[in-house]
């Protein structure tokens, strides 16, 4: 499965993506700041992660994000079904040098469209750290509404943080695209 936007392609990871995903995403401390994953310290560590990601993506709406202009893997995006017809983002992120180009909005809008139209979702939930203001802005700009906040604990480092949750229903989505 492949999803295209104006500037991006969301597609399944390939072993050939190792260097670009490592250099553009997995090796960057700042990129991992609000994410659940840890930075890869070496190309070998990234290879091990990539093999696991390829297996994970096989039967899920989970993708690498590729920049059309360069062909490079620059991030990841996923929607995971958490209950019948309810999907939650499984993380959406791109490398630091790709931020500010409108790519986040292209990714989230494409995933929302795909999840409602191809996966027959009735509701989509996204969350972000309360401190991650750009992510909250992105979710709102894609028609999602804030619903609640709750404390979470990140497994990678046991950090306790407050997460804000946003939702959009299929009916709300259909009304906004009319």
pTM for the model: 0.93
Give 56-82 pLDDT, tens digit per residue.
999 999 999 999 999 999 999 999 999
Q: What is the DSSP string of 98-159?
A: GTTSSHHHHHHHHHHHHHHHTS--SEEEEEEETT-HHHHHHHHHTT-EEEEEEEEE-TTT--
Structure tokens at 137: 């802005």
**Residue 31: which of 124, 126, 110, 134 has the closest Cα?**
134
| Local structure of residue 95 (DSSP, 8 states) | -
Query: How far apart are the C-alpha atoms of 48 and 45, rounded to whole Å?
Result: 5
Q: Which domains does the chain have, with CATH numbers?
A: 2-177 (3.40.630.30)
| Local structure of residue 20 (DSSP, 8 states) | H
Largest CA distance in the chain: 48
- Count other Cβ atoms within 10 Å, centred on residue 90: 18
Give 5-56 pLDDT, tens digit per residue.
999 999 999 999 999 999 999 998 878 777 777 888 999 999 999 999 999 9
């Amino acid at each position: 499965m492949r999803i295209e936007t104006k500037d991006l392609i969301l597609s399944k990871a390939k072993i050939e993506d190792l260097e670009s995903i490592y250099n553009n995403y997995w090796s960057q401390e700042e990129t991992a700041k609000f994410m659940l994953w840890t930075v890869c310290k070496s190309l070998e560590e990234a290879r091990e992660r990539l093999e696991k990601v390829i297996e994970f993506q096989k039967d899920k709406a989970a993708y690498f994000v590729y920049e059309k202009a360069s062909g490079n893997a620059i991030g990841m995006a996923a929607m995971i079904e958490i209950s019948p017809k309810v999907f939650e983002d499984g993380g959406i992120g791109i490398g630091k040098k790709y931020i500010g180009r409108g790519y986040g909005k292209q990714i989230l809008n494409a995933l929302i469209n795909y999840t409602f139209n191809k996966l027959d979702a009735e509701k989509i939930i996204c969350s972000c750290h309360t401190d991650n203001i750009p992510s909250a802005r992105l979710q709102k700009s894609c028609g999602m509404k804030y619903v609640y906040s709750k404390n979470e604990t990140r497994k990678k480092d046991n950090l306790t943080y407050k997460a804000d949750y946003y939702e959009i229903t299929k009916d709300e989505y259909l009304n906004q695209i009319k």
